[in-house]
Structure 1
Amino acid sequence: MLNLASLYTSYLDYCQYQKNLSIKTLKAYRIDLTQFLVFINELDGSLTKKNLSEFMTSLHKRYQPKTIKRKMASIKAFCSWLEYEEYIQNNPFNRMNMKFHVPHILPKTIPLDIIETLLLAAYQELQGIKTSEFKELVVLRDIAVLELLFASGMRVSELCSLNSDDISLTSGQIRIYGKGAKERIITVTNSSVLSALKKYKVEVGKQVGFSECFFINRMKDRLSEQSVRAIIRKYVQKAKINHHLTPHMFRHSFATLLLEEDVDIRYIQQLLGHSSITTTQIYTHVSVKKQNDILSSKHPRNKLSIK
Structure 2
Amino acid sequence: MRLEDKLAAYLEYCEYRKQLDKKTLKAYRIDLRQYFEHVNADEPDKEKIEEFVTYLHKSYKQKTVKRKIASMKAFYNYLEECEIIAESPFRKIKVKFKESVTLPRIIPREEIEKLLNHMYQCLNENDKVSHKHMLRDVAVIEVFFATGARVYEISNIREDSINLNTGLIKLFGKGGKERYVQISNTSILEVLRKYYDENEQAIKKSGYFFVNNRESRYTEQSIRLMLKKYTKQAGIERNITPHMFRHSFATYLIEEGVDVSCVQQILGHSSIKTTQIYIHIAAKKQAEILKELHPRNNMKIVGAA
TM-score w.r.t. length of structure 1: 0.90
Moved more, 179-188 or 192-201: 179-188
Specify which of 48, 51, 56 is matched with residue 59 of structure 1.
Answer: 56
Instruction: Find the partner of 1:170 among 151, 158, 165.
Output: 165
Matched residue SS, 2:19: coil
SS at match of 2:98: coil
The equivalent position to 1:259 in structure 2, one of 254, 257, 269, is 254
Q: Tell me which residue corresponds to 2:32.
A: 33
Aligned twin of 2:114: 117
RMSD: 2.3
Q: 1:20: which partner in 2?
A: 19
Contact 1:255 / 1:268 at 8 angstroms: preserved in 2?
Answer: yes
CA contact (8 A) 1:129 1:135 kept: yes
Work out the CA distance in 1 between the residues paired with 2:290 and 2:266: 24
Contact 2:203 2:215 in 1 (8 A): no
Cα distance in 1, alignment partners of residues 298 and 3 from structure 2: 66
Runs of 5+ in structure 2 lacking a partner? none
Question: Residue 89 of structure 2 corresponds to which residue in structure 1?
Answer: 92
1:210 corresponds to which residue?
204
**3-state DSSP of counterpart to 1:184:** strand
Following superposition, the deviation at residue 59 of structure 1 comes to 2.0
Does 53-62 or 222-231 show the bigger shift? 53-62
Bigger shift: 151-160 or 289-298? 289-298
Q: Percent identity, aligned pairs only?
A: 44
Q: With structure 2 as the length reference, what TM-score do the two structures score?
A: 0.91
CA distance change for structure 1 residues 45 and 304 in 2, over 3 Å: closer, same or farther? Answer: farther
Q: Say if 2:159 and 2:203, in contact at 8 Å, map to a contact too.
A: no
Partner of 1:136: 131
Separation in structure 1 between the aligned mates of residue 66 and residue 169 of structure 2, nearest angstrom: 34
Task: Give the partner amino acid of 2:123.
Answer: L
Structure 1 residues 298 and 39: CA distance shift in structure 2, 3 A: same
Deviates more, 1:144-153 or 1:14-23: 14-23
Deviation at 1:184, TM superposition (A): 2.5
Separation in structure 2 between the aligned mates of residue 77 and residue 186 of structure 1, nearest angstrom:
30
Flag the 1:155–1:209 CA change in 2: closer, same or farther, 3 A.
Answer: closer
Give the Cα–Cα distance (whole angstroms) in 1 for the partners of residues 84 and 44 of structure 2: 11
Q: Does the 8 A contact of 1:158 with 1:178 survive in 2? A: yes
Aligned match of 2:194 in 185, 199, 203?
A: 199
